[in-house]
Amino acid sequence: MANLTPEDQPQVAAPVPVGHTVIQGYLKTLDNSPGVYRMLDRESRVLYVGKARNLRARVSNYARPSGHSGRIARMISMTASMMFLTTRTETEALLLEQNLIKQLKPKFNVLLRDDKSFPNILVTGDHAFPQIKKHRGAKKQKGAYYGPFASAGAVNRTLNQLQRVFLLRNCTDAMFDSRTRPCLQYQIKRCSGPCVGLIDKDAYAQTVKDAEKFLTGKSIDIQARLAAEMQAASEAMEFERAAALRDRIRAMTSVQTAQGINPKNVHEADIVALHLEQGQACVQVFFIRAGQNWGNRDFYPRVGADVDAAEVLEAFLGQFYDTKEPPRQLILSNEIENPDLMAEALSQKRGRKVELLVPQRGEKAELVDSALRNARESLARKMAESATQAKLLRGLAEAFELSEVPQRIEVYDNSHIQGTNAVGGMIVAGPDGFMKNSYRKFNIKGDDLTPGDDFGMMKEVLHRRFKRLLSEDPDRAKGMWPDLLLIDGGAGQVSAVAEIMREHGVEDIPMVGVAKGVDRDAGKEEFHRVGQRPFALRHNDPVLYFVQRMRDEAHRFAIGTHRAKRAKANMKNPLDDIAGVGAARKRALLAHFGSAKAVARANLADLKAVEGVSEGLAQKVYDYFHDQ
């Protein structure tokens, strides 16, 4: 046997070094500037994002071989490289740090997982008779915004009572302009009927002003005035008017008394309370605005077993207010690591002073105690639910013979009526229950599909899903890939989905079809897998109920999406498809003819007679309907 020369020897790549010695190598390149650092593993995945007043001093702490907590020691042992970005001030570093944490979701950072926007109440400012409505998202529409409210339910309850008290309209401008008689809202005494002139502009403006006073906490004067008007109406024997005023006063009182926490001396603040237990955390936030409690929400940030309350609460505040305007005061249950720095950063964001308080006594301390009790109870409920969910996931793995307990289950269903307005729905479940921010809807686009072809629709949905996954996360490193697919259907659906999975090379993902079984009765479901005989679970098996619940949630989501699409299609006005017919001309045509059908039947001479409609546009409208 010939001897191999050194050049012929197989080359084995040296392992990438990791640990505190790697970190130590960066010290000679750093100065004392403030900034943000990132720690990365061998695959260049971000492990941790941190800020520092002095980058060199902070990194030198990580370069020590001992003296770290278990979490930090594990992080250092995985660190293969670091990245640095200097800033002018430590405040800039704090803001940049929290922004990067939200973007990169590092493994060793405290992470706020639920960061949805909160709804507001909007009193519009671009109409002679302003509308009051719920608003979520960017504040682009002209008007006055009041909030945030903790949930859509909190907004709806307040709006419901405000309409009873102030009788402001909630209809759209288009509906307002097209009314010829009062709508149901007027009949049930929720609107004053400005659309048909039942209240003049000045009187309506006064009710708007009263509603805005109430939403800013100045309700005592309004109640006193309404009480005086009720007394005067009673003395004048206008008993119907007096009764209506009495109902308005009661509605106003019910808004104030149905809020649970009712602060007396706190006008504008968020009460933020943290409870830590067994490596899990719950943060309860109460929104106090205009001296009223506008609801509360609980959050469950991702934390490690050895993080302390100060670190968790500071990380929560930085990420929570990254996209939200902070109030004047934050009333906290715990001190944070850098209170002055956080107050400065939030003050810069708000444009005026934000104060951080950790009260020890008095009303504010009582408010914190109440929020803390809610946090403790919410976490206890979640931990109990998580234990149950973990048991069900283990049972599911056993029932379907999975190699591992699934952490992400995707369930698919379609909805349509004889092939029209077809949509596909995907819901996601995991250790924390339904993951609603991961739900997806698919508008079925296949032009070559036979109407009602469920197999073809499911194939299109899964094709688009896997195409996107392969594009966005080809290495399956971002937690976007399912561990189990559940398909609503039997052998046919399973075969169709298996074909798509083969095309994309993802046959390693377990997939099960859930069919109704005998007589399509719940409890007699059959489960189908590729190349295996169908099987069923015991009628009273908790895993069966779990699968039924997931399938029903997918069905609910798909049907709801389909109904929304169908309603939108039904409400669409054919005038919207005519080039050159904008909102003003559409309004003029509808006001002249009364309906889109009447416009379609109109002759050319009548169309030309509409104010604001040119001869050319009239011809275009006429040709659109008569060519079709």
* pLDDT tens column, 108-121: 999 987 767 889 99
Is the pLDDT at 1 greater than 50? The verdict is no
Is the pLDDT at 520 greater than 80? The verdict is no
- For the chain, the 3-state helix, strand and coil shares in percent, each to the nearest 5, are 45, 15, 35
Tell me if 515 sits within 8 A of 525, measured CB to CB.
Answer: yes
Shared domain for 356 and 424, answered yes or no, is: no
pLDDT of amino acid 239? 82
Q: Could you say which of 104, 137, 154 is where a domain stops?
A: 104
pLDDT of amino acid 523? 63
Greater confidence, 410 or 617?
A: 410
Which value, in Å, is the radius of gyration of the alpha carbons in the chain? 31
Written as six digits, the tokens of 117 are 């926007």
CATH of the domain at 362: 3.30.420.340
Rounded to an integer, the average pLDDT of 35-49 is 93
Residue of 167, 171, 125, 117 whose CA lies nearest to 147: 117
Confidence of residue 598 (pLDDT cuts 50, 70, 90): confident
Omega into 301 within 30° of 0, i.e. cis?
no
pLDDT of amino acid 218? 72
Angle at 532 between CA 528 and CA 534, to 5 degrees: 40
Q: Tokens 């020897």, residue?
A: 9
Tell me if 213 sits within 8 A of 221, measured CB to CB.
Answer: yes
pLDDT of amino acid 489? 86
* DSSP assignment string, 64-94: SSS---HHHHHHHHH--EEEEEE-SSHHHHH
Tell me if 353 sits within 8 A of 328, measured CB to CB.
Answer: yes
Q: Could you say which of 80, 104, 128 is where a domain stops?
A: 104
Instruction: Name residue 357's beta-bridge partners.
Output: 331
Is the pLDDT at 237 greater than 80? The verdict is yes
pLDDT of amino acid 220? 63
Number of domains the chain is built from: 4
- Would you mind telling me the total number of residues written for the chain in this entry? 628
* pLDDT tens column, 254-279: 655 544 556 778 889 999 999 998 88
What's the CA gap between 112 and 99, in Å, rounded?
12
Q: Could you say which of 531, 552, 569 is where a domain stops?
A: 569
What's the CA gap between 386 and 437, in Å, rounded?
18
- First vs last Cα of the chain: how many Å apart? 86
What's the CA gap between 611 and 592, in Å, rounded?
9
Mean pLDDT score of the chain, rounded to an integer? 86
Say which range, 6-20, 65-79, 248-262, 456-470, has the weakest mean pLDDT: 248-262
Residue 323: domain span: 269-381
Shared domain for 329 and 467, answered yes or no, is: no
* pLDDT tens column, 116-145: 788 999 999 989 999 999 998 888 889 999
Rounded to an integer, the average pLDDT of 298-302 is 91
Is the pLDDT at 571 greater than 70? The verdict is no
Across 342-474, the runs of DSSP E, i.e. the strands, are: 355-357, 409-417, 420-430, 433-434, 440-443
What's the CA gap between 400 and 544, in Å, rounded?
11
In a domain, 435, yes or no: yes
Residue type, 507: E
pLDDT of amino acid 23? 93
Say which range, 74-78, 187-191, 471-475, 517-521, has the weakest mean pLDDT: 517-521
